[in-house]
């Protein structure tokens, strides 16, 4: 058993933090270490850097996704920009460097590339000597994840392992585990019972929408498109902490969205996402690495709508290639595409089987198993 493990992430979008939380939960369940600390490294940077690093990303997601996609592709050049990036990060992360020196963990597990590259630099300078492992939180590994000093990479796919090996990461230092998600998503729950719990019809097509990820204007258009379904359906729209959005969707449903065939159920913040996913048949939304892995674990076919250029586009490609998703590029045909899929029972069941085969619900525990081997 390790004495102290640091799980290191950064609040740049929610996925990196959720992966860190999943690992922390799995580590605590199995008593992997006497002491486990889950740290957002942006809390140990200067305020301006923290604001720019986190907020700039979210602003681009919401208002300039095409620019974000261009930046993603432009920076995806293995080993080319690391010196300039490291110089900037070192300049702004001295409190984090001080933290690492004082904590002296037995192991660091990074679910974001910012702490990974800082630790790699410190190891090269012999300022720290603890091992670090890197958990990639999308299906592809962008060049930003690359560093020189580490003990193990954990990746989602065999293809990603091949890619990393081709660009210089030793194959024996890459383990394919999937993306770590909360262990609760690996617990099988009866679909009918979950629908009854949430007041949903037991026999209707049930579609889950993560509404908070779309912004108010876009989600309105999305739900209007879903209201045209010919298949009897119920739409569960998860609004998260956005109470204004929830109120707006409730008003929309009452005024014009609900009809004889399609009923809408706006839901606020919930800690029962695994149970809502258990109740559903399909998920409509953007394929972030964590959301996608959670949905796969619960057996949901993905309907990809407006993925963020860059990592979500690539996640979408993998889902489509594996036969786990359909993609809608034009909202006016969303209902038609879903109706067509559901009407073909053989295709629908084949896709559900593909989802089951592609899912890795216990990725967090697979990572822990490999870490125990490395400890020996």
Do both 118 and 155 map to the same domain?
Answer: yes
Do both 65 and 162 map to the same domain?
Answer: yes
Name 376's Cβ contacts closer than 8 Å, sequence gap at least 6.
Answer: none
Mean pLDDT of the chain: 89
Do both 206 and 337 map to the same domain?
Answer: yes
Do both 138 and 202 map to the same domain?
Answer: no
Between 71-85, 164-178, 283-297, the lowest mean confidence (pLDDT) is in: 71-85
Do both 169 and 193 map to the same domain?
Answer: no
Mean pLDDT of 303-330: 93
Do both 371 and 329 map to the same domain?
Answer: no
C-alpha closest to that of 358 among 310, 306, 323:
323
Between 62-66, 95-99, 127-131, the lowest mean confidence (pLDDT) is in: 62-66
Q: Are strands 262-267 and 282-285 parallel, antiparallel or unpaired?
A: unpaired
Do both 285 and 170 map to the same domain?
Answer: no
Report how far residue 360's alpha carbon sits from residue 367's, in angstroms, rounded to the nearest whole number: 11
Q: Is the pLDDT of residue 74 over 70?
A: yes
Number of Cβ atoms within 10 Å of the Cβ of 63: 10
- Tokens 């950064």 correspond to 10
Do both 292 and 338 map to the same domain?
Answer: yes
Q: pLDDT digits over 105-129, tens only?
A: 999 999 999 999 999 999 998 989 9
Do both 192 and 270 map to the same domain?
Answer: yes
Do both 143 and 283 map to the same domain?
Answer: no
Inter-axis angle of helices 82-92 and 113-124, nearest 10: 90
Do both 70 and 90 map to the same domain?
Answer: yes
pTM of the model: 0.90
Do both 102 and 144 map to the same domain?
Answer: yes
Instruction: Return the CATH number at 94.
Output: 3.40.50.2000
Q: pLDDT digits over 7-46, tens only?
A: 999 988 778 999 999 999 999 998 888 899 999 998 888 7
Q: Domains in the chain: how many in total? A: 2
CA atoms within 13 A on the CB side of 376: 5
Most confident of the following: 65-79, 242-256, 301-315: 301-315
Mean pLDDT of 312-336: 95
Position 61 confidence tier, pLDDT thresholds 50, 70, 90: low
Report how far residue 290's alpha carbon sits from residue 349's, in angstroms, rounded to the nearest whole number: 24
Are the C-beta atoms of residues 38 and 20 closer than 8 Å to each other? Answer: yes
Q: In which domain, by residue range, is 234 found?
A: 184-358
What's the pLDDT score for residue 145? Answer: 94
Q: pLDDT digits over 131-170, tens only?
A: 999 999 999 999 999 999 999 999 999 999 999 999 999 9
Q: Is the pLDDT of residue 295 over 70?
A: yes
In the chain the beta strands, taken as DSSP E runs, fall at 2-9, 33-40, 107-110, 132-135, 152-155, 174-176, 205-210, 233-238, 262-267, 282-285, 301-305, 325-328
Q: Are strands 282-285 and 205-210 parallel, antiparallel or unpaired?
A: parallel
What's the pLDDT score for residue 86? Answer: 64
Q: Is the pLDDT of residue 62 over 70?
A: no
């Amino acid at each position: 058993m390790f004495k102290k493990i640091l799980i290191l992430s950064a609040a740049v979008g929610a996925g990196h933090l959720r992966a860190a939380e999943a690992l922390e939960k799995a580590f605590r369940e199995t008593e992997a270490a006497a002491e486990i600390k889950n740290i957002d490294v942006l809390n140990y940077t200067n305020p301006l850097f923290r604001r720019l690093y986190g907020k700039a990303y979210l602003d681009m997601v919401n208002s300039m996704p095409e620019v974000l996609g261009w930046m993603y592709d432009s920076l995806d050049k293995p080993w080319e920009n690391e010196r300039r990036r490291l110089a900037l990060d070192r300049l702004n992360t001295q409190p984090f460097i001080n933290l690492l020196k004082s904590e002296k963990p037995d192991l660091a597990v990074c679910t974001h590339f910012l702490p990974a590259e800082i630790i790699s630099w410190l190891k090269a300078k012999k300022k720290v000597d603890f091992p670090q492992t890197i958990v990639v939180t999308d299906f592809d590994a962008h060049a930003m994840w690359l560093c020189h000093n580490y003990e193990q990479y954990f990746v989602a796919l065999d293809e990603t392992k091949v890619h990393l090996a081709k660009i210089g990461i030793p194959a024996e230092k890459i383990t394919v585990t999937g993306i770590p998600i909360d262990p609760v998503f690996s617990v099988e729950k009866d679909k009918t019972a979950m629908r009854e719990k949430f007041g949903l019809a037991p026999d209707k097509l049930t579609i889950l929408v993560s509404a908070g990820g779309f912004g108010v204007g876009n989600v309105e258009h999305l739900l209007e498109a879903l209201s045209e379904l010919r298949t009897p359906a119920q739409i569960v729209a998860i609004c998260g902490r956005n109470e204004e959005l929830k109120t707006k969707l409730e008003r929309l449903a009452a005024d014009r969205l609900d009809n004889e065939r399609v009923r809408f159920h706006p839901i606020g913040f919930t800690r029962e996402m695994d149970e809502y996913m258990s109740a559903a048949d399909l998920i409509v939304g953007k394929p972030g690495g964590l959301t996608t892995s959670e949905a796969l674990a619960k057996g949901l076919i993905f309907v990809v709508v407006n993925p963020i250029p860059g990592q979500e586009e690539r996640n979408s490609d993998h889902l489509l290639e594996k036969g786990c998703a359909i993609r809608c590029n034009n909202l006016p045909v969303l209902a038609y595409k879903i109706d067509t899929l559901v009407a073909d029972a053989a295709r629908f069941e084949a896709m559900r089987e593909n989802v089951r085969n592609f899912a890795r619900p216990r990725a967090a525990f697979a990572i822990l198993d490999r870490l125990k081997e490395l400890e020996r």
